[in-house]
Amino acid sequence: MSSKVDVLLGLQWGDEGKGKIVDVLTPHYDVIARFQGGPNAGHTLEFNNIKHVLHTIPSGIFHPGKKNIVGNGVVIDPVILKKEIDALVKMGVDINAQLYVSRKAHIILPTHCALDMASEADKGKKKIGSTLKGIGPTYMDKTGRNGLRVGDLFISNFQERYNSLKAKHERILEQYDFEYDISEKEALWHEGVELLKKLRIIDSEHYVNREMNAGKRVLAEGAQGSLLDIDFGSYPFVTSSNTISAGACTGLGVAPNKIGDVIGIFKAYCTRVGSGPFPTELHDADGDLMRKEGNEFGATTGRPRRCGWIDLPALKYAIMINGVTQLNMTKADVLSVFDEIKVCTHYEYEGNRIDYLPYDINSDDLSPVYITVPGWKKDLTNLHDEENFPVELSSYITLLENELQVPITVVSVGPNRNQTILRKPIHA
Ligand code: GDP
Ligand code: IMO
Ligand code: MG
């Protein structure tokens, strides 16, 4: 019997703990496939005293025998991919057996990164806060129909096409007051390309559909978060791809009627890295405490993450856009330090109380309305079953489930693989 693709994605502004949860769920799947984004992502996994951050490679890679696919919707920087592969090979991962790359995935050029930096520098105070990995310029070339794809690496005039695209970028870069030197990166890039050519390059849309038709279980792994989606996020402070569940259809070649569960990951509070609106952001000691307890520093850039209370109107929006069928809550343990926890249930906007995200979430006239609930003030990091949850944590979960109308099936209480409580069997 043919199966469907389950999609796992972030419901906030990224870094919800997607990598950790994908790693936990991988034993229940046969194939893990990334469908969008690129090395702007940093997905952290922890197990057996190993802490590892993945950028391009799906988070199922540490489970021998599981297939990991970099889908057509992903943009690949060969320099970063090579670094990731070199590190995994050292750790004993069988890349040849486990990693597959779509022929249709687009390639990030060194000049794409230079363009990203020049554009951000030019924006000054209005900068997006990009990770500067060349994501925006690469997707612009994709939609502008100029891009280079993995399959192009094998055609005879590849170098010519590379030179021509690089020259085009150099002409654009001349318009910026920006100095750059890509010579070192370019040499590494060519090394990366040579490695990329030796990987298993596939028509991933056919591959994924064949696996599904054979009844294999496929999990699509999202990057970034729904509020960074190019269409539905806090534009222009977003990334350049569709991070929502629909992105799994275009980023893997899976038809909408082949999507099964949509697993939405959210933190028990909220964070954002980079610029842009964040209604529940805390600028006080509570925010500092969340950052410290949650170790909220970017996995890709090391930047401190902005922290704040959970935002239900924003989560409801993300649940609607994605068609979320299951919620997974991470970092519940981080809230153990607080006597009281705040939950944003509404916004005050232009004199009215609303429970949805307005078009202009940048507005100075938008402020969160909170309810306050008691904290649990107990260490959760050694919990293994729900029976031992403090009553205040159970009430917090019930409150969120009632508000969001979707069951919370997984609660994560620490960064490690085994600090995870399943409230319902996977594939029940
Ligand atoms: P991703 O981009 O969604 O995969 O998330 P990141 O890896 O960028 O950031 C999540 C961070 O939180 C990582 O450092 C994880 O190791 C850590 N983490 C994940 N789940 C939990 C949890 O339940 N509790 C705590 N304390 N840390 C967690
Ligand atoms: P993961 O997959 C958090 C943010 C950047 C910036 C904006 C645009 O680890 O959750 P880009 O480099 O895409 O041009 O940056 O998006 N951003 C992320 N924030 N987690 C991520 O990925 C992110 N990827 C991009 O900080 O605000
Ligand atoms: Mg991350």
Instruction: Specify the pLDDT at position 190.
Output: 97
Locus of tokens 């096409």? 161
Instruction: Using alpha carbons, select from 47, 85, 94 the residue that is nearest to residue 67.
Output: 94
Alpha carbon of 104 to ligand 1 centroid (Å)? 30
* Residue with CA at minimum distance from ligand 1 atom 6: 15
Parallel/antiparallel/unpaired status of strands 259-267 and 5-10: parallel
For residue 59 the two structure tokens come to 């988070």
CB burial readout 124-137, b (16+ within 10 A) else e: eeeebbbbbbbbbb
**Tens digit of pLDDT at every position of the chain (428 positions):** 899 999 999 999 999 999 999 999 999 999 999 999 999 999 999 999 999 999 999 999 999 999 999 999 999 999 999 999 999 999 999 999 999 999 999 999 999 999 999 999 999 999 999 999 999 999 999 999 999 999 999 999 999 999 999 999 999 999 999 999 999 999 999 999 999 999 999 999 999 999 999 999 999 999 999 999 999 999 999 999 999 999 999 999 999 999 999 999 999 999 999 999 999 999 999 999 999 999 999 877 888 999 999 999 999 999 999 999 999 999 999 999 999 999 999 999 999 999 999 998 888 899 999 999 999 999 999 999 999 999 999 999 999 999 999 999 999 999 999 999 999 999 87
Element of type H or E holding 114: helix 110-123
β-strand pairing of 306-308 with 270-272:
antiparallel
Nearest alpha carbon, ligand 1 atom 14? 44
Separation CA 176–CA 29 (nearest Å): 47
Is the CB of 415 within 6 Å of ligand 1?
A: yes
Model pTM greater than 0.85? yes
In this predicted structure, what is the pLDDT of residue 362?
82
What CA–CA distances, in Å, run from 426 to 92, 194, 261, 409?
A: 28, 40, 11, 9
Spatial distance between the Cα atoms of 417 and 50, rounded to a whole number of angstroms: 10
Is residue 44 within 6 Å of ligand 1 at its C-beta? yes
Q: Are 300 and 156 in contact (CB under 8 A)?
A: no
Asked if 43 is an active-site residue, the reply is yes
Tell me if residue 206 is catalytic: no
Q: Which is catalytic among the residues 6, 23, 30, 43? A: 43
Cα 244 off chain centre by: 10
Residue 218's φ and ψ, nearest 5 degrees, are -115, 135
Q: Token pair of 224, please?
A: 């970034």
242, 230 Cβ separation under 8 angstroms = yes
Residue among 12, 9, 11 nearest 305 (CA) = 12
CA pair distance 85, 78, nearest whole angstrom: 10
DSSP 321-336: HHT--EEEEE-GGGGG
Going by CA atoms, what residue is nearest to atom 27 of ligand 2?
274
C-alpha 177 – ligand 3 centre gap (Å): 31
Predicted local distance difference test score (pLDDT) of residue 256: 98
Name residue 264's beta-bridge partners: 9, 327
pLDDT at residue 298, rounded to an integer: 86
Pocket of ligand 2, beta carbon within 6 A: 10, 13-15, 37, 40-43, 128-131, 133, 135-136, 223-225, 228, 239, 273-274, 299
Question: What does DSSP assign to residue 263?
Answer: E
Is the Cβ atom of 331 under 6 angstroms away from ligand 1? yes
Determine the pLDDT at residue 373: 98
- The helix/strand/coil state of 74 is strand
Task: Give distance in angstroms: CA of 299 to centre of ligand 1.
Answer: 9
Which residue has the least CA distance to atom 27 on ligand 1? 415
- Catalytic one among 15, 77, 141, 333? 15
Residues at Cβ < 5 Å from ligand 3 ion = 15, 42, 299
- Three-state DSSP at 410 gives strand
Which among 321, 406, 358 is positioned nearest to 11, based on CA atoms? 321
Query: Taking a C-beta distance cutoff of 8 angstroms, is the pair 101, 196 a contact?
Result: yes
d(CA 135, ligand 2 centre) in Å: 10
Residue nearest to atom 21 of ligand 2 (CA): 224
